[in-house]
Structure 1
Amino acid sequence: MNLNPLGKGPSTLSSYSKQSLPALAILLGASVWGVIWYPLRLLAALGISGTLASALVGFSTCLFLWIVFWRSLSTGLRSILSNALPISRYDACLLLAALAFAGGMTNIGFTWGAIHGQVMRVMLLFYLSPAWTVFFAHWLLHERINAADIAIACLSLAGAMLMLWSPELGVPLPADLAEWAGLLAGISFALQNVLSRKISRVLPSLPAQLRTVTIFGGGALVGLALIPLEPFSLASLPLAPPALSHALLLTICLGAVLALNNMLVQYGIQRIAANRAALIMLFEIVITALSVWWLTGEMPKPREWSGASCIIVATLLSSWVHRRR
């Protein structure tokens, strides 16, 4: 007797869950990244500078990941210290240090740009990462550059130039330091992804959580190192009990959310096709535009939407090309 009114058996429902749950995980992850700029601005309003915010959030995220994954992370560190790796301990540490630096520059660039600039423009400059991935993959992974790669990179850069072109200046360059920070974050993000792929190839025994901790740990260290370059006064820090408690609570929550969000996205991208994952991740741009409009009243202009369209198409084409390979 069929007890399912829709006529679907257990295998059909199981197959549906295998496809829908990873897609939902990526969708939720993209939504979180689309609104993460707002709590960063709340930290700035409390007196936490962009560099200090990057350091505090990176440290909080690492702490959360160590609490959850201490066993696998300890195993990964022991394998490095005991030199039980396919490559030398020096080369392994060098790769992890490069990954930490790239992750740190990604975090500080995104955080500083989201706090001080137009969020939508910073986000679109960040999404130029497929253009830079082509060259980093050729340099570090020895992947061949073909006509499709060049076309994708040119399409991304054309979208950026269309968005950044100013009738007054006539030069398609970032207008302020916040936009330069977003551009730097996108370049660093591309390097971070390529280095992560390289480490997963040459050090397959290391847990993926160790790469994640390395990235956020780099965010904490780079943020601390750059604090002296960002002028601020001690009087602006939230040292009074109410403001201090709010800042600490917001920092801890941000660290937990970013750690959980990373775990959620990793669950999704490991279970569905890369081109479909990239399509879902682009929902982040939609969420960003809606959240910026709702919370600040800003709306992207037609030229910015045109540039965004080029960047989105380039991202989809990049994912499709690499998936076919």
Structure 2
Amino acid sequence: MTHANAPLTPTGRLRLARCIVEDHWPLRRAAERFQVSVSTAARWAGRYRNLGEAGMTDRSSRPQTSPNRTPTRTERRVIKIRVIRRWGPARIGYLLGLNPSTVHRILTRYRLARLTHLDRATARPIRRYEHSAPGDLVHVDIKKLGNIPDGGGHKVLGRAAGRRNSGQRGHGYAYLHNAVDDHSRLAYTEIHADETRETAVAFWTRAQAFFTSCGITVTRVLTDNGSCYRSHLWRDTLRAAGITPKRTRPYRPQTNGKVERFNRTLLEGWAYAQPYRTDTERRAALPRWLHTYNHHRGHTALAGKPPASRVPNLTGQYS
């Protein structure tokens, strides 16, 4: 593309070159006619003699040789450290004696500036999966959330007043028990005061009833290695309902990633979405947000459609 201040377009260059080469105009006369320097007129005439009309287009400004480019061997070392150790440009540059900006350019050139395709814990390619039918696998997890003292916390009152108000009786933590269907991302959530095995089992009983009401038969449940999920009560309750309990490998929360991502969405879209003045006010807003999530909020993994789009029997789908 010709820049804004260029005196000649490719068509103008062709006319200039033809005046010199074919009509035998003197260089100086042609340069004056087209308002360019003599050297410019000579350059386009020379390209026309050698390349014809094809020589009138712009060439790449990239040099034919780059003597100061980082050696290929060094680039390979940068890539190897990036993939195996997942270090950033500054740390790699310190190890290899390179400027961090140089390391960043190398990583960008080989599309390694972001390691979105690798698991940060193991450096192995991420294996994304999705079960083919609702109920084949349900992810279950618990998220700890601080309660809001009456009158509001720091988001309403400011840091100093919110800190003083947080010291009143009744301020503590709530536990969000969440269940997310792997195929449809349909979610069920309850707020409880603890994460004991009895509470977890009672929550699952109601969650299973919710999925059943949606026409979903749960066959497997995946959890982390929390004490409530390692209990005999949890195992026996699931097996009595014909459900296979499964647990993630220790220190591998990525395996339960769908519910982990739902936890983040839940906090951003509901818990921290607005400054609530009481914990009761925030809890009252949960059912409406959950309905919006299941029925109306577009999900990127579902091509912008809500979870309800993958559960035909879900009641209230179009409300």
Scaled to the shorter chain, the TM-score interval is under 0.3
Larger helix fraction of residues: 1
Larger strand fraction of residues: 2
Q: Could you tell me the TM-score, scaled by structure 2's length?
A: 0.22
Q: Could you tell me the TM-score, scaled by structure 1's length?
A: 0.21
- Rg comparison, structure with higher value: 2
Q: Which has the bigger relative contact order, CA under 8 A and spacing at least 6?
A: 1
